[in-house]
């Protein structure tokens, strides 16, 4: 037989990996050997638009059981997406083994521009022998990195690389995250760092339109929040938490105009187009505290309450029991920043400082695309509203007028008709402003101080304990 012909006809050698079934290849990927790589503690600074999600906090260890994954799929959370990306990038062994901590928990619909999480992730560093560690220590780590010993690495010495040689955490994660969630920067941190307990202050913004509001009165009311107060009448109480201390410190509070450089926020000649923001900084906040504060400020801005209602509600001896009122809308609220000691956190926004800024280029483009899509929707809604306002409809004639007698009602622009009807409705009923474009028909307005109140906190806590037979104690830091 012609050996050359046989060689030509014989199939080419197939690599062993190519012979594996897809199931086997997947199994090999799933069995990523984390023991080969050291872990290091980092802080991640990230942003998210909150309206597609049911809050920041994941549903337990969301990816570690089928039932939790099903809940997470039905009620997606920001952290659920974050941990899914961490798992896909093979950066964590598991959710329960990475010492995860968040700066502050935000609820459904609330956004974050400066949220922070700390956790252990895989590193490009390498394990050292004791002799190697001693040699590097004697010569100084300097240009090679630094040697650390963490409990998560079994106390073994690890040489961590220079930051610019570390895994590109920001780029890796953003490739696997939805566009509404972006990692902005990362920082190396010490083993005892906690995103929650190392935070010095949280800074919130609440955006709202001037339409229908007296900004001067709102500023008068807002300044009364400054300092240390008992905010039990400005939060949502969960008796299961058994909170005893409702004192929180507001470090600064202002109501300022949205910067005019922000494009397309509206026509500034109209109150609807003049936008403002409550800027609030504090050490920590209670559950729904900012939204409750904003609800009262809206009532003050509408002239439904005097600014001193804030003082009266902060006096928990006199107003011992939270009055019934509806919180402000969640969508305009943003956790804008989280402050840490400079010695604890040094944010890395670019991979090679001073030499390239590709990460910032990508972030700007990606967030700009989100802005473009949302702005397009706003323009479409504006166009439809303008179509309605330009529509001519039969205008109800005044009783006894010649037009009414002739039986031929005149026509007019809906814009003019709408203005008259809105003014007439305003005289008959009150529409409470809740922010985010939401209002509620309040009928005859009942002053806050005259409304029905919840039982005092200690009574509600005792009732819960009696009902559950528990002595559970816990704390909450929800905004």
User: How much is the pTM?
Assistant: 0.82
Alpha-carbon distance of 308 to 224, in angstroms, equals 8
Residue listed under structure tokens 């930051």: 163
Give me the pLDDT at residue 180, please.
Answer: 94
Instruction: Kindly report, residue by residue over 176-198, the tens digit of the pLDDT.
Output: 999 999 999 999 999 999 999 99
Higher pLDDT, 46 or 242: 46
d(CA 119, CA 98): 5
Confidence grade of residue 266 (pLDDT, cut at 50, 70, 90) = low
Tens digits of residue pLDDT in 423-464: 777 777 788 889 998 888 877 889 999 999 988 888 888 888
Q: What is the pLDDT of residue 160?
A: 92
The DSSP string of 328-351 is PPSTTEEEEEEE--TTT---B-SS
- Long-range residue pairs from 460-467, CB within 8 A, at least 24 positions apart, any chain: 460/237, 460/239, 461/239, 461/242, 461/243, 461/244, 463/239, 464/239, 464/240, 464/242, 465/239, 465/242
Q: Identify which of 125, 189, 194 has the alpha carbon closest to the alpha carbon of residue 156.
A: 125
* Beta strand pairing call for 275-282 and 333-339: unpaired
Give the pLDDT mean for 15-20.
Answer: 43
pLDDT in tens, 49-67: 999 999 999 877 767 778 8
Contact between 434 and 298 (Cβ < 8 Å):
yes
Place of tokens 């307990």: 197
Per-residue model confidence as pLDDT tens digits over 297-307: 999 999 999 99
- Tell whether the model's pLDDT for residue 33 goes beyond 70: yes
Catalytic residues, by residue number, are 107
Residue 272 is predicted with a pLDDT of 67
Could you tell me the pLDDT band of residue 267, with boundaries at 50, 70 and 90? low
Query: What single string gives the DSSP state of each residue in 279-322?
Result: EEEES---TTHHHHHHHHHHHHHTTSS-TTHHHHHH-TTTS-SP
């Amino acid at each position: 037989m012609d050996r050359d012909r046989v060689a030509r006809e014989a199939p080419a050698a197939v690599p062993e990996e190519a012979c594996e079934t897809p199931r086997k290849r997947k199994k090999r990927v799933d069995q990523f050997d984390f023991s080969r790589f050291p872990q290091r503690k980092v802080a991640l600074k990230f942003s998210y638009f909150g309206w597609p999600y049911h809050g920041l906090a994941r549903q337990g260890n969301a990816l570690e059981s089928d039932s939790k994954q099903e809940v997470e799929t039905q009620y997606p959370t920001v952290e659920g997406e974050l941990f899914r990306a961490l798992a896909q990038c093979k950066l964590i062994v598991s959710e329960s083994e990475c010492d995860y901590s968040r700066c502050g928990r935000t609820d459904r619909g609330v956004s974050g521009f400066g949220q922070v999480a700390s956790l252990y992730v895989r590193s490009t560093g390498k394990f050292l022998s004791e002799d190697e560690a001693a040699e590097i220590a004697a010569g100084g780590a300097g240009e090679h990195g630094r040697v650390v010993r963490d409990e998560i690495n079994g106390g073994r010495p690890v040489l961590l690389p220079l930051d610019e040689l570390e895994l590109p955490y920001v780029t890796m994660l953003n490739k696997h995250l939805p566009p509404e969630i972006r990692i902005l920067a990362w920082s190396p941190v010490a083993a005892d760092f906690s995103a929650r307990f190392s935070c010095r202050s949280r800074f919130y913004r609440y955006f709202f339109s001037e339409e229908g509001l007296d900004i001067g009165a709102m500023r008068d009311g807002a300044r009364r929040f400054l300092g240390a107060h008992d905010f039990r009448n400005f939060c949502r109480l969960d008796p299961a938490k058994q909170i005893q201390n409702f004192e929180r410190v507001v470090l600064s509070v202002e109501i300022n105009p949205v910067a005019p450089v922000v494009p397309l926020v509206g026509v500034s000649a109209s109150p609807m187009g003049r936008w403002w923001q409550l800027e609030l900084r504090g050490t920590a906040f209670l559950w729904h505290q900012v939204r409750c504060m904003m609800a009262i400020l809206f009532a003050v801005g509408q002239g439904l309450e005097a600014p001193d209602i804030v003082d009266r509600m902060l006096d928990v001896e006199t107003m011992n029991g939270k009055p019934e009122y509806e919180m402000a809308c969640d969508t305009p609220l943003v956790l804008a920043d989280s402050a840490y000691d400079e010695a604890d956190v040094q944010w890395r926004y670019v991979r090679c400082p001073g030499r390239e800024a590709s990460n910032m280029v990508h972030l700007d483009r990606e967030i700009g695309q989100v802005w473009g899509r949302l702005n397009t929707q706003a323009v479409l809604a504006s166009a439809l509203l303008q179509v309605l306002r330009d529509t001519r409809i039969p205008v109800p004639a005044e009783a006894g007028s010649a037009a009414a007698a002739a039986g031929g009602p005149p026509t007019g622009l809906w814009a003019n008709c709408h203005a008259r009807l809105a003014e007439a409705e305003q005289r008959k009923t009150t529409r409470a402003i809740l922010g985010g474009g939401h209002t509620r028909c309040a009928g005859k307005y009942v002053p806050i101080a005259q409304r029905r109140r919840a039982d005092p906190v200690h009574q509600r806590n005792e009732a819960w304990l009696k009902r559950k037979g528990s002595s559970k104690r816990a704390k909450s830091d929800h905004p």
